[in-house]
Amino acid sequence: MGKPMALNLLAACIHLVVHSRSQGSIDELASAGAQPAGYLGEVTALADIIFTCLPDEATSESVYLGPSGLIPGCRPSNLFVETSTISPTLAIRTCEAAVEKGATYIDAPISGGVGGARDAALTIMAGGDPRDIKRAMPFLKHMGTTVHHVGEVGRGEVVKLINQLLVAVHTQAACEAIVLAMKAGVDPYQVLDVLSTSWGNSAMLGRTGPMVADRNYGSAAPTRLIAKDIGLVLGLARDVGLTLPLVEESQKVLHRAVEAGLSEADVAALATLISD
């Protein structure tokens, strides 16, 4: 999702310094007008506001807090905007490390998938000081249609994890519903039409239902990432003293999917676990 977000900034004539582990992404962004950076310290030296979009907590922690990471060599003028899905605890810890260096940090996780990133139609859930949100806003508006300031640092990640809870549970429910319809001999598209104006409707049903009906899943929302997010959801639940039975069951299904070789398949491919 980071590459289409960066392309939208470039389309808005914003000077962009880019760094990635993927040379292909660097080459594509450079051909679109971005300035490549060879290492993380070069990013903090050349750019005042730094956006990160990373696949998991371990990568985020390394990129920000590792010996050669963004924070150790940052400048007081740096504002870090973390759009990845990580734990609130890591967001707070990273913010504290940035503040110790005189820099600032907000967590601004995103929802909308690759399509939303490409179309600059993401929903952004930002946590941090209002002044820092205001500083980042001109750039965030080129990435998403909706930016919510939901409180202090870490709260953006809380809201994103709540979203991911519903994504996982609703997707699994949608898979089961459409497979049941097909097994019972009902046209799945007619079911989806009926449900679109019924209480059983949901955004994930509208997304997942046609994929299950067509048995065409793709890899837009890889199962491994949803499984990662659900682990973070359960970690947050433990931190606040809650038990979430539906999420625990969803985690089991996601782990089964990963073990079945569906890591890179879209999460809608959960339907294959209950369908021939």
- Contact (Cβ atoms closer than 8 angstroms) between residue 162 and residue 152: no
Could you identify the residue written with the tokens 């051909």?
31
Which among 141, 160, 183, 228 is annotated as catalytic?
A: 160
E strands present in the chain = 17-18, 35-36, 49-52, 79-82, 104-107, 110-111, 122-127, 144-151
Respond yes or no: is residue 160 known to be catalytic. yes
SS3 266: strand
Question: Furthest-apart CA pair in the chain: how many Å?
Answer: 64
The first and second tokens of residue 189, run together, are 């598209």
Beta-carbon count within 10 A of 72 CB: 15
Altogether, the residues listed in the chain come to a count of 276
Catalytically active residues, by annotation: 160
